[in-house]
Chains A and B, each alone.
Chain A
């Protein structure tokens, strides 16, 4: 177990270094901060002066090292727009994003678990086919459109839910459902295929042969074994989930990190964008690490295989 955790940790560190390089490269190699910062009619000397001021005349490795050594202390520079440090600005917007992510995950599970189990137990029945059709349609659905259609229906026509904003439970309903609808199809398919596979195993036959009730067989013997692959894949899908949260936030003007990021992109406020990108990526990697460790703990076979 210790060797497994160490290996996962090493991988974690490598990926974090990679993330720092990539986010550095996006601003400094693909783009040129000075070009983005100064007005287009600024003179040549002005450009040079700013370049020196921001330390951009130094070699790239030196710049990268400066960026990293400041970033680990939470210093991503000041927002070019509001003249406040970027890090607390982003951190402040983190909780709504996290709440939305969990609410969406909850909705997805509430839809996917019962439907997935039902279609696995009644394979190729009408219900199963209906669920599969729903899943296929759900996967093709652009969720920002779904969100807007929900707003038109429930906020504009029926006037029973707020169109956007944050605060009460009513504000959660549509965003959580939108995000849930994004994640539910793949989760449902996972539960279905996982359960079908498990139900064909010998120990399920044994459980049935012992004369256990079907409900006990499904809930206690089969479902528990489906949980591991589902948790693993959901953990790996966490990045997707957060990506979905980004889309959902922008539709409902949810005051989270994504809305801030999009605003900052519109304002060309790069320190904030960079900080948000790094923090979100770190969260995803950390979640993946946790999932790997937990799964390795629960299922020794995974430890050995990795």
Chain B
């Protein structure tokens, strides 16, 4: 594959030189590309859930309760991955559960990335007292385990989907802020910033127009990797019963419910967990590949 792309003399000039390098690097990232395809399939399944899921995720079929997956004795082709304790189709619930995980992951990351980038830029650009205040806040946040903070806030706010997005979004800004601040400190000293200042650019224009564009690939990489982390945390909260509430299908609460039945029906807990694992693995691989592709020198 890589030799094909790199050394093929068949169409010289068909691919611009600048692109050829990128393509060659892309070929080296075949794991990342595979993972991206898997990710695309997961996203498509979640978006198209009403059309692709074989059953309604909430319809109870009590005659087929605790049916094993199709390849085991007693399994039916009607329920490929089996059914749960009240006969809901596991495959359909997993497909629908993906919606919850992806929505929480994406929106929480949007919140935390915006917050973190804003605070990191401010701290790095202004320095001095602003920097000290933001860094102290950052150290305080970092001394709480993310899980503990999320638990404490959910305990007060009460479990629901918007609350969870809010909590995970607000709790996760320090990572972005730290990296963005460090980069901003370095960029601030470069000539083009001095030049911009000499031209009379405003602080906002320097920060968002001049410094921020240099940080985009960095932020994209962190944000991608963080989506995976947020999904794991969301499913943990739901697993504890402090996240998305039943009967809504979410991978975490399916896993939590399935845990009660693991003595005889392992599949109820196993498959939702597998879904989380495959999704986070795919996202991590895509994130790593993005990092290698955009900027191999990024140290994260």
Interface residues of A (CB under 8 A from B): 11, 14-15, 18-19, 21-23, 26-27, 30-31, 36, 136-137, 139-142, 144-145, 148-149, 151-152, 156, 239-240, 242-243, 246-247, 250, 261-262, 264-266, 268, 270, 273-274, 277, 280-281, 284-285, 288
For the complex, what is the distance from the CA of A145 to the CA of B141, rounded to whole Å?
Answer: 27
A-B contact pairs, 7 of them (CB 8 A): A21-B140, A30-B153, A30-B157, A148-B273, A246-B151, A250-B240, A288-B143
Majority SS of interface residues in chain A? helix
13 more A-B residue pairs beyond the given contacts A136-B285, A277-B152, with a C-beta to C-beta distance below 8 A: A14-B136, A18-B139, A19-B143, A26-B153, A136-B281, A140-B281, A142-B273, A148-B259, A148-B262, A243-B146, A247-B236, A250-B240, A265-B242
Of chain B, the residue at the smallest CB distance from A26 is B152
Majority SS of interface residues in chain B? helix
Least CB distance, A218 to chain B, in whole angstroms:
24
Cβ of B198 within 8 Å of any chain A Cβ, yes or no, is: no
Least CB distance, A56 to chain B, in whole angstroms:
14
Cβ of B112 within 8 Å of any chain A Cβ, yes or no, is: no
Cβ of B59 within 8 Å of any chain A Cβ, yes or no, is: no
With A136-B285, A137-B281, A277-B152 already in contact, the answer to whether A156 and B145 are too (CB < 8 A) is: no
With A18-B140, A239-B142, A239-B143 already in contact, the answer to whether A149 and B281 are too (CB < 8 A) is: no
Of chain B, the residue at the smallest CB distance from A288 is B143
For the complex, what is the distance from the CA of A36 to the CA of B157, rounded to whole Å?
Answer: 10
Within 8 A of A (CB), among B156-171: 156-157
With contacts defined as CB atoms under 8 Å apart, how many contacts are there between chain A and chain B in the complex?
A: 128
Cβ contacts under 8 Å, B298 to chain A: none
Q: Is the CB of B276 within 8 A of A23?
A: no
- Looking at the complex, which one of B152, B235, B263 makes contact with A23 (CB distance below 8 Å)? B152
For the complex, what is the distance from the CA of A247 to the CA of B147, rounded to whole Å?
Answer: 8
Q: Is the CB of B236 within 8 A of A239?
A: no
B interface residues, tally (CB under 8 Å): 45
Cβ of B239 within 8 Å of any chain A Cβ, yes or no, is: yes
Least CB distance, B267 to chain A, in whole angstroms:
10
Least CB distance, B31 to chain A, in whole angstroms:
9
Interface residues of B (CB under 8 A from A): 136-137, 139-149, 151-157, 228, 232, 235-236, 239-242, 255, 259, 262-263, 266, 269-270, 273-274, 276-277, 280-281, 283-285, 288
Q: Is the CB of B262 within 8 A of A156?
A: yes
- Looking at the complex, which one of B148, B235, B259, B276 makes contact with A281 (CB distance below 8 Å)? B148
Q: Is the CB of A140 within 8 A of B143?
A: no
Cβ contacts under 8 Å, B274 to chain A: 145
Cβ contacts under 8 Å, B241 to chain A: 266
Q: Is the CB of A265 within 8 A of B154?
A: yes
For the complex, what is the distance from the CA of A259 to the CA of B195, rounded to whole Å?
Answer: 57
Q: Is the CB of B144 within 8 A of A277?
A: yes
Q: Is the CB of A261 within 8 A of B139?
A: no
Of chain B, the residue at the smallest CB distance from A264 is B155
Of chain A, the residue at the smallest CB distance from B283 is A140
Q: Is the CB of A19 within 8 A of B263?
A: no
Cβ contacts under 8 Å, B255 to chain A: 144-145, 148
Least CB distance, A142 to chain B, in whole angstroms:
5
Least CB distance, A70 to chain B, in whole angstroms:
19
Q: Is the CB of B263 within 8 A of A156?
A: yes
For the complex, what is the distance from the CA of A140 to the CA of B263, rounded to whole Å?
Answer: 26
For the complex, what is the distance from the CA of A246 to the CA of B242, rounded to whole Å?
Answer: 14
Q: Is the CB of B156 within 8 A of A31?
A: yes
Cβ contacts under 8 Å, B239 to chain A: 144
Cβ contacts under 8 Å, A18 to chain B: 136-137, 139-140
Least CB distance, B235 to chain A, in whole angstroms:
6
Top 6 nearest A-B pairs (CB, nearest first) are A243-B145, A145-B273, A18-B140, A31-B156, A140-B281, A265-B155
Q: Is the CB of A15 within 8 A of B139?
A: yes
Cβ contacts under 8 Å, B156 to chain A: 26-27, 30-31, 36, 270
Cβ contacts under 8 Å, A285 to chain B: 143
- Looking at the complex, which one of B140, B151, B273, B288 makes contact with A15 (CB distance below 8 Å)? B140
